[in-house]
A and B are shown apart, each in its own frame.
Chain A
Amino acid sequence: MMPNDQRITEALNEAGIDFDVEGFDSSKSFKENGIDSLDVMSLFLMLEEKFKTKFSESEASGIRTPMDLTAALDKKLE
């Protein structure tokens, strides 16, 4: 698992979200990783609170994979 993957899986665990740990692939969609749309909202909120940032609606709608999410987060925290 790449460091970026680890960061997201830690965030998923922190948000209390069940997902396919063994098959986790950050380049696949959230849905393909067993993470539904409501869990994604919960994950976004947890990251927004943790890093004191906000994902706008247009930003959020463009984030389809965990990899997209880490990239968007990194950009915000630069």
Chain B
Amino acid sequence: MLGIKAIASYVPERRERNIDLAGRFELDELFLRDKIGVLERAVKAPEQDTSDLAYLALDRLMTEHRLKASAIELLVVVTQNPDRNIPHVSAQVHGRAGLSESCAAFDISLGCSGYVYGLAVVKSFMQAQGLSCAVLITADPYSKIIDPTDRNTVLLFGDAATATLVACEPVWTLDTFSFGSKGKDWSAIRTDAGKFVMDGRGVFNFAATTVPNDIKIMLGKADLSPDQIDRYILHQGSRFIVQTIANRLRQPLAKCPTEIERYGNTVSSTIPLIAEVALCDVSLRNIVLSGFGVGLSWASCLCVRTEGS
């Protein structure tokens, strides 16, 4: 049985405070805390690039879980902000970490839905190829593309990377998935001339209407009701979006944590950053992961804690 066995993360130490920008954008701390949900954003050092963040997350995973480089059979990196167009970031990380030449390595180009898509791709690839040990990395530092004058985005995004060990004898199984795309609305989240642009209202409407529905459909496939889920780990678009989805699922906020106050929306890393902590909480049996964003695309997954883990 394949599933999530461990997660490690790397969050840059440097922080930028949103309160320092509040005057410029005519915002107050209450709005930043209660609505946007971000007080500080983690920002990578100028000399760091995407592959550095990705490698540091992988290095932590290997150190904390005594994972040998030779054991990794598949390395996948989710990013849309690679160091350069060619090569793929996973190749750079593969080389720096000294992984085996028999280890497959490729990138997946997705944003905030990328972690859940990545889990599905990794699990399927492993099953098809008879593999037993893979690492899924998320690393998408938006500080590379954010326009510092754009109040719609500059207060939201932070930099981080995570590394997830997908292997046999997991803590969480990866049971049921659902996916979707609204390519007709791709322009709601995009880059123009290298700078990030987001239609806040369009993305809010998409998240508020599509995501709760998708989660309910996915739970229906698993023959579960929303009340039977112990924890919803939702992409942290903003505190307001998480609250809106929780309300529409008719679930208490305590079951839908927001964890972006000290580092911001870290794109495909928001879900694994929360999952890293939740993985250790043995009281959580049924967990839903749901990512949504660039594309527009979305994916949800049911994880179930294995007996004795």
Contact = CB atoms under 8 A, between A and B. Distances in A.
A15 to B, nearest CB: 10
Contacts of A42: 204, 208, 240, 244
Residue of A16, A38, A42, A44 with most partner-chain B CB within 10 A: A38
Nearest to B244: A42
Interface residues of B, number: 14
B200 A41 contact: yes
B35 A60 contact: no
Interface in B1-47: 31, 35
B152 to A, nearest CB: 10
A11 interface: no
A49 B210 CA distance: 13
Contacts of B209: 45, 49
A16 B247 CA distance: 10
A42 B208 CA distance: 9
A57 B201 contact: yes
Interface string A50-72: 00000001001000000000000
Interface in A1-48: 16, 36, 38, 41-42, 44-45, 48
B201 A60 contact: yes
The B contact surface, by secondary structure, is helix
Contact of B201 (A16, A36, A41, A49): A41
B205 interface: yes
B169 interface: no
A62 B159 CA distance: 35
B199 interface: yes
A42 B244 CA distance: 9
Given A16-B247, A38-B204, 10 more contacts: A36-B35, A41-B200, A41-B201, A42-B240, A45-B205, A45-B208, A45-B209, A48-B205, A57-B202, A60-B201
Q: Which 5 A-B pairs have the closest CB atoms?
A: A38-B240, A41-B204, A38-B35, A41-B201, A45-B205
